[in-house]
Amino acid sequence: MAEKATSASIADSSKPNAGRIYDFLLGGNHNFEVDRLAAQQLLQVAPFLPKLVRVIRWFLGEAVHRLTDAGFTQFIDFASGLPTIDHINHIAPPGTKVIYSDIDPVTVAYGQQIIKDDPNVRYVVCDAQKPETLLESPVVSRFFGNNKPVAIGYNGICYFVSDEAIHHALGVLHAWAPAGSRLFLCDFDAAVPAPAIDTILKLYEQMGQPGYRRTRAVLEQLIRPWKVAAPGVMLLEDWISVKKEVAEDTTSAFGGVLNGVILEK
């Protein structure tokens, strides 16, 4: 396992942390008062955010269920946030190996504390825009140790990544992944007006995190050479039809379209 990330701010409640804010919005308790205050500011602009992040997490759960049912026992996840509230290691069957990663060393350090000594989970620092830094490290080969197909999570990150960076990252992942591997992601469709989402992305940009919206057609170009697996590109509320009422309520609240897809090599 790679050397654990360390940061004094992991226990510093004076600075909000994106991973802990997301945990709060999901209903988790791995957050501080400063994170809850920052989340409340976001909620003033977008009161639907807790439902939105829950729908994104439901899609992750649906993808994990489908992939484990198909026999996948190894997952690599990018821009993971905190491994709480229905994350991969909570959903997948016992014995499934998961490598989480995040660009923020504070989130990684806190995540490592949460997973503790779980022998089937690792958490390392990696920029989702440059997955080669993780793939070329000894962590993956040591942990997986074979050439079996891998399930890759690139979920909830595309709208913070430029077109060029997505094309690079998915190309690197495709070149590395063993035949038969899968990758799941979701993204907003810029063809549908969504002023509330645009407002949120502007707030993130003010915090130093640019946001991006693209059409489905552009996304389908960027994901090549990955191939779209059945059932294809669908609205998240169609992926998670068992929770359709909540998903549709959320969609109507923010006025946008969020598509999800599983890709295959």
Query: Quick check: 241 pLDDT over 80?
Result: no
**Identity of the residue numbered 169:** A
pTM over 0.85: yes
Where is pLDDT greater, at 231 or 106? 231
What pLDDT is attached to residue 2? 39
Using one digit for the tens of pLDDT, what is the confidence trace for 1-14?
Answer: 333 433 344 445 67
**How far is it, in rounded angstroms, from Cα 64 to Cα 89?**
10
Closest CA to 265 of 168, 155, 187, 184: 184
Dihedral angle of Cα 159, 25, 68, 169, to the nearest 10 degrees: 20
Overall size of the chain counted in residues: 265
Query: Quick check: 35 pLDDT over 60?
Result: yes
Using one digit for the tens of pLDDT, what is the confidence trace for 72-98?
Answer: 999 999 999 899 889 999 999 999 999
CA angle in degrees (0–180, nearest 5) for 158-160-165: 70
Using one digit for the tens of pLDDT, what is the confidence trace for 188-236?
Answer: 988 887 787 888 787 777 666 788 999 999 999 999 999 999 999 998 8
CATH superfamily label, 8-264: Vaccinia Virus protein VP39 (3.40.50.150)
The three-state (H, E, C) secondary structure of the chain, written as one string: CCCCCCCHHHHCCCCCCHHHHHHHHCCCCCCCHHHHHHHHHHHHHCCCHHHHHHHHHHHHHHHHHHHHHCCCCEEEECCCCCCCCCCHHHHCCCCCEEEEEECCHHHHHHHHHHHCCCCCEEEEECCCCCCHHHHCCHHHHHHHCCCCCCEEECCCCHHHCCHHHHHHHHHHHHHHCCCCCEEEEEEEECCCCCHHHHHHHHHHHHCCCCCCCECHHHHHHHCCCCEECCCCCEEHHHHCHHHHHHHHHHHHHHCCCEEEEEEEC
Confidence grade of residue 262 (pLDDT, cut at 50, 70, 90): very high
- Beta partners for residue 138, in sequence order: none
What pLDDT is attached to residue 224? 94
Packing angle of the helix pair 195-206, 33-45 (nearest 10 deg): 140
What pLDDT is attached to residue 8? 40
